[in-house]
Structures are given as C-alpha cells and as structure tokens.
Structure 1
C-alpha cells in the first residue's frame, strides 16, 4: 500500500474546474515532483491535501487513513506538513522559536506547570531547545538560533520554513516551490539538503517546483498538471522530454 493514495480528486470554484480527476500514488520514502505551468492547479492540489480546500469529489488517504473532511490541524497531526510558495514565518520571533512553535504539536505540559514554572516546564523546554537545534543543524542554521527570522537572508528563510515543517514530525512533507527566488548556488545547496532531509528524517516528499534542474536532479518520479488535469507521469528523463510537456511549458 502506498503512503499517499489520491484517487479521482476534483474541485471547482464557481464554474471553473480547477482540478479534475487527479490521481497519484506515492510510496513511502519517495521524492516525488508535481510540476506544470503557472495556473495548472498544483497549489490547489496541495491545499486539498492539507485541508485548506475540501474537494468536491475524490479520496485522499495517508497510510490508509481518509483525510477528506479533516481540518488542517487534524491533517498535520495525522502526519502531513507543508511549506508555502510565499514564505510564512513568524518573522518577529527567533529562528529557534519558529521551530519550537511546531514542536509544541507533540510536546505537552500542563497549564499549571507552565504558569508556575514548575520543574517539568524547564525540562520540556530544554528538550525542545535541543530538538530544535538538532533540526536547525541539518540546515546549517544552528548558529542563527537567536537571530530574528526577519533578519535571515532570503535563502535561509526558505530553509527555516522547511525546518519548521519537519518539527511536526511528518510522514509526508509537501514543499511548494522551495527554490523560488534562490540563486543557482543556493538551489544546488538546497537540492542536497532536501535529499538529506528525506534520508535523515525518513520522510516522504512531494514538491512543486519550476526549476527543472532541481526537479531533474532530485525527483524520482513526476506528474505534470496542465489546466487541472494530468498531462504526463513517469521518470524525469521521460517526462521532461515529452513533446506535450515541452509544449505546455514553452507554447507552440
């Protein structure tokens, strides 16, 4: 059984069919790419997978559990985390605290313990600090732990958003254009980091990306969307040379 099973997914906004009959199966541990021209429906798919939109039809299962109808918070607790095309950090919080916010998803202490700063509070906070630093170290950000998120360079903000998503301990990590706005050197570094994340955290990754060099360099399988429907699926070397895919990206 695949980790993620999506069958016949569709959604309409008014009279516009934004996504139609979308089907995808992703095995545990895969690094899978969802690509397509602007407006193809890629982010809409992410929004349905994470509960932001409820599909009009179709099914979404993670490890056999139905996700349709669950709230974004419930889906996160089930094991799905995401980043966004436009960075959404807590910019007036430190790098460390951005990650610790996500760790509260699984670290608990009572209101009483928190209010009166009982020993259990300091123990849990120390554990979260170390866990957050361990995650930041994967991205080379442990040295910026006390820096305000707004003061990080753009490329590091992108990495911090991925680090925060990983702190929820997901089974499936959705990356929405992780290399957007990065220069070639930053993109090359990010490619290696994403591979490391997949292996170190034993997480399955589905990403949206327009940088074809990144897609070809790290994705094991691709699905191409165009006008909300599947145009092609297969390995990168086959899909990226498909005449229909080339036409969709470049025009006639």
Structure 2
C-alpha cells in the first residue's frame, strides 16, 4: 500500500476550479515532484494535503489514515510536515530554538512541569537540545545554533526551514519551491541535502519546484498540473519530454 493515496481530490473557490480530480499514489521512501506552470494549482494541492483547505470532494489517506476533515495540527501529528515558498521562520529566535519549537510537537511533560521546571522538564529539554543539534548537523547549521534566524544568509534560512519541518518527525515531507531564490551553487547543495535527508531519515518527499535541473536531478516520479488538472505523470525523462507538458510551460 502506498504511503499517500489521493483520489479524485478537488476544490472550488466560487466559480474557479482550483484543483480538479487530482489522483496521486506515492510510495514509502520515494522522492516525487509536483510541477506545472504558475497558477496550475500546485500550492493549493499542498494546502489540501495539510488541512489549510478542506476539499470539495475526494479522499486523502496517509499510511491508512484518512486526513479529510482534520485540522492542520492534527495532520502534522499524523505525519505530514511542509515548508513554504515564502520562508516562514521565527526570525527573532535562534536557529536552535526554531528547531526546538518543532520538537515540542512530541512534548511529554505537563504545563506545570514546564512552568516550574520540575519533573520531566529538564531531562526533555536536554534531550531536545541534543536532538536539535543532531538535525542541524545534517544541514551544516550546528555551528550557528545560537545565531538569530534573521541573521542567516538566504540559502541557510531555506535549510533551517527544512530542518524545522524535519524535526516534527514526518512520514511525508512537503517542500514548496525549496530552491526559490537560490544561486546555482546553493541549488546543487540543496539537491544533495534533500537526497541525504531522504536516505538518512527514510522520509518520503513530495516537492513543488520550477527548477527543472533540480527536478530532473533528484525526483524519481513526476505529477504535472495545469489549470488544476492532472496533465501527465510518470518518470521525469518521459514527462519532461511530453509535448503536452512542454506546451503548457511555453504557453503555446
């Protein structure tokens, strides 16, 4: 059984059909791309998967559990984490604390223990510090753990956002245009990092991306959206040479 099964997913905003009859089957451990021209419905699809929008119809099943009707916080705890096209960090918090915020998704001590620093609090905080540093090491950010997130260069802010999402211990990681705004060297480093976290943490990854070098370089399977509808799907070498896909991107 696939980790994620999406069947006949759709949503309308007034008279606009933003996503129409979307079907996806994503296997455990795979690295999949969701691509298409601007306005194709890709981010809307991510918002449906994460509970930001409730679908008008269709089903979303993660590891055998239906996600339709669940709040974003519930879906996060069920195993989906995401990043955003526009970076969303706690800019006035340190790099370490940005990751620890996500680790609190699995917090086990009570409010009283937290307030008075009693019981499990000190032990759990120490464990979270160690876990956060371990995650930051994957992104080569452990040496900047005490730096404010706002003071990181743009490329490292992108990495920190992925690190924070990873800290929620997801089964499925959604990356929304992770290479946006990066230079070629940063993009290549990001490609290596994405493959590393998939292999190291055994996480399934679904990403939206316009950088076709990145898409063809790391994705094993692609889904293409156009005007909210599935245009094509398959292996990158086939999909990226599909005349329908080329036409959609060129606007012909």
**1:133 and 2:133 correspond:** yes
CA–CA distance in structure 2, aligned partners of residues 228 and 23 of structure 1: 12
Task: Summarize deviations over 1:172-218 as a string: whole Å, max 9, x none.
Answer: 00000000000000000000000001011110000000000000000
Secondary structure of the 1:127 match is helix
Corresponding residue for residue 96 of structure 2: 96
Secondary structure of the 1:28 match is coil
Which stretches of structure 1, 4 residues or longer, exceed 2 Å deviation after superposition?
Answer: none
How much has 1:107 moved relative to structure 2?
2.2
Normalised by the length of structure 2, the TM-score is 0.99
CA–CA distance in structure 2, aligned partners of residues 38 and 248 of structure 1: 10
**1:224 and 2:217 correspond:** no
Matches within 5 A, 1:1-40: 1-40=1-40
Structure 1 residue ranges without an equivalent (≥5): none
Secondary structure of the 2:120 match is helix
Normalised by the length of structure 1, the TM-score is 0.99
CA–CA distance in structure 2, aligned partners of residues 114 and 33 of structure 1: 41
RMSD (Å) for aligned C-alpha atoms: 0.7
**1:68 and 2:68 correspond:** yes
Matches within 5 A, 1:39-188: 39-118=39-118, 120-188=120-188
Number of residue pairs matched by the alignment: 252
How much has 1:115 moved relative to structure 2?
1.9
How much has 1:117 moved relative to structure 2?
1.7
Secondary structure of the 1:104 match is helix
